Amino acid sequence: MNFFKRAWLSLIAKKGRSVLMLIVTSAIMLFVFAGLLINTAANNATEQAKESVGATLTLSANREAAFKKMQQSQSSSSSSRPKLTTSPVKLSDAKKIAKLANVSSYNATTSTSVNTDGFDTVSTTSSSSPMGGMKSSSSTGDITINGVTNTAQSSSFSDKTNKLTAGRQLTSADSGTNNVMIESELAKADSLKVGDTIKVKSTSGSKTYQLKIVGIYKASSSATTQMGPGASDPANTIYTSNTFANTVKGSKYANTADSVTFTISNPSAVNQVKKAGKSVINTSKYSLSADDSSYQTVKASMKNVKSFANKIVWLVSIAGTIILALIVMLQIRERRHEIGVLLSMGESRFKIISQLFVELAMVMVVSLVIAGIGGQFIGNKLGQQLVSQQTTTATSSGTSQAGPGGTTGRPSGAPTGNMQGGMRQNMSNQSSKAKQAKLKVTLSPVQLVKLGAMGFVIILLSVVIAAGGILRLRPKQILLE
């Protein structure tokens, strides 16, 4: 009968002691496992954030350089009124950046406005608003045109602020066409549906364009609440191809855009792409700005979660080792007589220690099963609690950094009709995506093996620490005194 069988007989004969050991080791393993699961889940969440949260680079006119140029011309010439002159982005320049590594796609955006011809815009009704109930109409146009390469990549659609309700979205295949997407409220007000045509005319009134409705979208109410007094109702925004928006703006805007947004496939490479992008463009004309704040928010919160999970693993492991070592020491005191009998028969101390180790190992195997079942549950609860705390902190700090207005406003004369709204949408987008960074705590065989390895290290250390008591013992002292 070897020490394995002795260990087994001891375990089944002393059921109370075995159950107590099982409870203690299960509790230790549960928390170690929960920590390991949270740690792995945080790693996975950070990896997933690279793909799902994404990062973008935006190429636009360099306003700072243009402003400095304006100031210089103001000081050199006092006769004429200074003028801020910015260049639209040439698509040929944008394509150079699109070819760089880690750039998955790009979306050119041009904004302008037109007036209706033969249909009505949607009126913004608000009892508190001085503009309430009035039909919106001004020299800047009563319809806002958002010219894009692909609506699906536009932030309003990707963050679900706008949702397609009928027809289809605009794609790069719509380039050069007069296909449009209109808002559902506008469609309802004018009884328009997919396939119908509408007419708009330029703000100068010189040109009329016939547009074909290929899709209808619904703008969320949250976008409406962000509007300030005098702003156009979001229902009066129509999406067209970038080329059509350029056509409305004038022939000199052909093959240009107000800004081009590049989607970066790997958010951690955003700075690398930005550096490479700056080397292929004229930085005095253009600015290239990175937006990986969503990724950084998720990364930072996951880093905190990982750090906490690591602390759990270490603390529980150390405390568990000490607790188990104390229990084994108490067991050795209780089992001195048995150890003495085995020593008197010539059993080696190594095998006696091994028997104690095997007894604990058998208990540990059952504890692993219990931890496997319970660890995922505890890990999920604990992980979500941690993430919700981290996300709340990260989101509130992100909002406060943006300031109450969300932006500093736009310079006069700049062709950025919806810049403020865009920035607000972007912040909203970041917050919602940061909230989406949930921990998916899942059990895998690798983690169980890792837990098992940790468990066996813990019991090995416990037995080795407690074994000093056995090594000091002499059979005569135990059996005859």
Contacts with other proteins by CB under 8 A: the residue count is 24
Q: How far is the CB of 475 from other proteins (least distance, A)?
A: 4
Contacts of 207 (CB under 8 A, 6+ apart): 201, 248
Residue 137 binds other proteins, judged by CB under 8 A: no
Residue 473 binds other proteins, judged by CB under 8 A: no
Residue with tokens 């020299």: 139
Amino acid at 8: W
Q: Which of 1, 64, 191, 408 binds other proteins (CB under 8 A)?
A: 1
Q: Which of residues 298-357 bind other proteins (CB under 8 A)?
A: 337-338, 340-349
Residue 479 binds other proteins, judged by CB under 8 A: yes
Q: How far is the CB of 356 from other proteins (least distance, A)?
A: 13
Pair of tokens at residue 459: 């019991």
C-alpha–C-alpha distance, residues 62 and 93, integer Å = 14
- CB neighbours (10 Å) of residue 63? 16
Q: Which of residues 68-107 bind other proteins (CB under 8 A)?
A: none
Q: How far is the CB of 446 from other proteins (least distance, A)?
A: 37
81 DSSP 8-state letter:
P
How far CA 157 is from CA of 124, 160, 184, 445, in Å, comes to 22, 5, 14, 39
> Which of residues 86 and 355 has its CB atom nearest to other proteins in the complex?
355
Q: How far is the CB of 340 from other proteins (least distance, A)?
A: 7
Sign of CA dihedral 87, 92, 95, 96: negative
Pair of tokens at residue 35: 């920590």
Contacts of 263 (CB under 8 A, 6+ apart): 54, 56, 103, 104, 105, 106, 107, 153
Q: How far is the CB of 328 from other proteins (least distance, A)?
A: 17
Pair of tokens at residue 396: 């509130």
> Which of residues 374 and 475 has its CB atom nearest to other proteins in the complex?
475
Residue with tokens 């295949």: 173
Closest CA to 259 of 34, 449, 15, 56: 56
Task: Identify whether the C-beta of residue 256 lies closer than 8 Å to the C-beta of residue 110.
Answer: yes
Q: Which of residues 359-388 bind other proteins (CB under 8 A)?
A: none
Stretch near other proteins under the rule CB under 8 A, chosen from 3-11, 216-224, 294-302, 442-450: 3-11
Sign of CA dihedral 455, 459, 460, 461: positive
Stretch near other proteins under the rule CB under 8 A, chosen from 103-111, 181-189, 369-377, 473-481: 473-481
Stretch near other proteins under the rule CB under 8 A, chosen from 4-12, 81-89, 96-104, 131-139: 4-12
Residue with tokens 């010439």: 77
Q: What share of the chain is helix, strand, coil (3-state, %, to 5)?
A: 55, 15, 25
Q: Which of residues 10-39 bind other proteins (CB under 8 A)?
A: 10, 13-14
Task: Identify whether the C-beta of residue 117 lies closer than 8 Å to the C-beta of residue 265.
Answer: no
Stretch near other proteins under the rule CB under 8 A, chosen from 112-120, 201-209, 297-305, 468-476: 468-476
> Which of residues 381 and 474 has its CB atom nearest to other proteins in the complex?
474
Q: How far is the CB of 332 from other proteins (least distance, A)?
A: 15
> Which of residues 348 and 444 has its CB atom nearest to other proteins in the complex?
348
Q: How far is the CB of 439 from other proteins (least distance, A)?
A: 45
> Which of residues 27 and 479 has its CB atom nearest to other proteins in the complex?
479
> Which of residues 345 and 446 has its CB atom nearest to other proteins in the complex?
345
Pair of tokens at residue 414: 């700049």
> Which of residues 198 and 339 has its CB atom nearest to other proteins in the complex?
339
The angle formed by the CA atoms of residues 281, 284 and 288, to the nearest 5 degrees, is 55
Task: Identify whether the C-beta of residue 261 lies closer than 8 Å to the C-beta of residue 77.
Answer: no
> Which of residues 85 and 477 has its CB atom nearest to other proteins in the complex?
477
Q: How far is the CB of 358 from other proteins (least distance, A)?
A: 14
Q: How far is the CB of 364 from other proteins (least distance, A)?
A: 20
- The DSSP string of 116-169 is EESSPPPP---TT-TTTTPPP--TT-SEEEEEES-GGGSHHHHTTSEEEEEE--
Stretch near other proteins under the rule CB under 8 A, chosen from 8-16, 194-202, 313-321, 453-461: 8-16
Chain residues in the site for other proteins (CB under 8 A): 1-2, 6, 9-10, 13-14, 337-338, 340-349, 474-476, 479-480
